[in-house]
Amino acid sequence: MTASPTTCDRILDAAERLFADEGFHATSLRQITQAADANLAAVNYHFGSKQALILAVFRRRLDALNKARLTRLDAALTDSDRPDLEEILEAFIVPALAFTHGSEDAGHLFMRILMRAFAERDDQLHRALSAEYAHVMRRFASAIAVALPGVDEQCLRRHLDFIVGALTHTMAENGSSNGQAIANDLVRFAAAGLRSAVSVRNLDGATRTLEIHT
Amino acid sequence: MTASPTTCDRILDAAERLFADEGFHATSLRQITQAADANLAAVNYHFGSKQALILAVFRRRLDALNKARLTRLDAALTDSDRPDLEEILEAFIVPALAFTHGSEDAGHLFMRILMRAFAERDDQLHRALSAEYAHVMRRFASAIAVALPGVDEQCLRRHLDFIVGALTHTMAENGSSNGQAIANDLVRFAAAGLRSAVSVRNLDGATRTLEIHT
DNA sequence: GTTCGATTCAAACACTTGTTTGAATGTTAG
DNA sequence: CTAACATTCAAACAAGTGTTTGAATCGAAC
């Protein structure tokens, strides 16, 4: 039999599920500790505060996710001299979906939490997360810049935002079903979108402009 | 001089800003009424409850946004017999950005709120919104299906999710700056992504599959 | 001026929140 | 065994929550 999970882990699991279902502020420590079969004071004892618990829930999964992404990115880059755009995008997208198919629907829950974190304007959380998240995004940005020479830097950053938005939104919306089909779609969708940026610029040197009514 | 805004409007404005900054549950009625220079009981008097206020904040902007989208979509469809994909996408994307450039940063705030609504698992809010939102999405889906014959229906629905995710994420993240450039990028990005779906199917009849490690 | 409906107001309601405390318990080392 | 430490527990804390209430105030219509 596996060692029974510690109080810390039970609290993290319960908090993850409740945060995903109800939101950070809407979830009370009493709900969490009751679901975790722990005493109310356990949260403040083990983590210090509710805010620190939120960060802990985050780090546990995000560290693993970003590490898997970077490992796969490195593998794609050393595979050949000229990196393949699709392989780079798979390195970013597939681990997120592998997550979803992992232990129960932990990944699915975490994607909902990740989306909340983007929505939350909580500066403390925002800063703490972007510290390591920015590093990962920069690695992928430069990898794509190599695979797709001639793409505007600012444009590339925007497109990465598109991909992050599309990924988190669909992951949060659709459950853990059809992960593979979604990954296929998103990789192709994103690759085509990225390639369109350089081809347009190479053909006529300027993008079409739209009028925006104000 | 313009007629001074009613208490209802002041409450809606204050609530919109605070909901975007702090979240639904994190903002108290006391914060809202104080910012709106109204009495605490005014919210329950005019709207009935906090939950009803949240819905009211939503409807005020979402109605206008979706109406603008559909108007522009109709214009694009009657323009010519065979609708242009880019025009359809502009009908969906540009009004959201025109919003952003409208009164102050009201649109920017509302996009953050919209993102929260997707993240929130509040079933009541979810159901109330998807009622009219689903209708708009269906209109756009069938318009794209005409402009892009041969695209798989399920695949199209997923791609619309990608676009919604990309739009809300970037709108929420970047402020009201560079709205036009973002709209240009997203329209081109989305169009290329959508076209890639039909071309792949038409060329070899099957999509590439990725292994997902679990 | 008076009456009537709509609106505002201050005060209180019952309840939940995150956090702290100090004693009780379990666990490990000397 | 005992001493020291880590962990759990029930209880209380002050502060904040959404909502309700009943009186006060306003603005027209008669």
The residue extents of the domains of chain A are 1-48, 58-204
More confident residue, A79 or B130: B130
More confident residue, A147 or B97: A147
Chain A residue nearest residue B212, CA to CA = A98
Alpha helices in chain B (DSSP H): 7-22, 29-35, 42-46, 50-79, 85-101, 106-119, 123-147, 153-173, 179-204
Q: Find residues whose C-beta atom lies within 7 angstroms of strand D.
A: A 6-7, 38-42, 45-46; B 27-31, 40-41, 43-44, 49-51
Q: Which of residues 21-50 of A touch strand C (CB under 7 A)?
A: 27-31, 40-41, 43-44, 49-50
Residue range B101-120: mean pLDDT, rounded: 71
Two tokens, residue A86: 């699709």
Q: Does A182 touch chain B (CB under 8 A)?
A: yes
Q: Which of residues 37-66 of B touch A (CB under 8 A)?
A: none
Cβ within 8 Å, pair A190-B193: yes
Q: Report the SS3 class of residue B93.
A: helix
Chain B residue nearest residue A207, CA to CA = B184
Two tokens, residue A115: 């989306």
- DSSP conformational letter for B179: H
Q: Does A28 touch chain B (CB under 8 A)?
A: no
Question: What is the CA A42 to C1' D11 distance in angstroms?
Answer: 15
Residues of chain A found within 8 Å of residue B182, distances taken between Cβ atoms: 158
Residue range B72-86: mean pLDDT, rounded: 87
CATH architecture of B58-204: Orthogonal Bundle (1.10)
pLDDT band at A209 (very low <50, low <70, confident <90, very high): very low
* Phi, psi dihedrals of residue B210, rounded to the nearest 5°: -110, 145
Q: Does B177 touch chain A (CB under 8 A)?
A: no
Chain A residue nearest residue B18, CA to CA = A121
- The domain covering B1-48 belongs, at the CATH homologous superfamily level, to Homeodomain-like (1.10.10.60)
Residue percentage of chain B with pLDDT more than 70: 83
CB pairs under 8 A between A and B: 182
Ordered DSSP codes for A149-192: TT--HHHHHHHHHHHHHHHHHHHHHS-STTHHHHHHHHHHHHHH
User: Which range has the worst mean pLDDT, A78-87, B47-56, B85-94, B116-125?
Assistant: B116-125
Please, which residues have CB within 8 angstroms of residue B101's CB and are 6 or more apart in sequence? A212, A214, B107, B176, B179
Question: What is the CA B29 to C1' D16 distance in angstroms?
Answer: 11
Instruction: Report, in ranges, which bases of strand C sit under 7 Å from a protein C-beta.
Output: 7-12, 16-22
Closest nucleotide to A27: CA versus each C1': C17
pLDDT tens-digit map of A43-101: 999 999 999 999 999 888 888 889 999 999 999 998 777 789 999 999 999 988 776 65
pLDDT tens-digit map of A100-116: 655 556 667 787 788 77
Whether the pLDDT of residue B104 is over 80: the answer is no
Residue whose C-alpha is closest to residue A119's, from B28, B17, B117: B117
- DSSP conformational letter for A1: -
Say if CB B116 and CB B26 are below 8 A apart.
no
Whether the pLDDT of residue B89 is over 50: the answer is yes
Cβ within 8 Å, pair A119-B115: yes
Q: Does B198 touch chain A (CB under 8 A)?
A: no
What pLDDT is recorded for position B91?
95
Q: Does A109 touch chain B (CB under 8 A)?
A: no
pLDDT tens-digit map of B171-187: 877 665 677 788 889 99
Q: Which amino acid is at A27?
A: T
What pLDDT is recorded for position A97?
76
Residues of chain B found within 8 Å of residue A193, distances taken between Cβ atoms: 188-190, 192-193
What pLDDT is recorded for position B175?
62
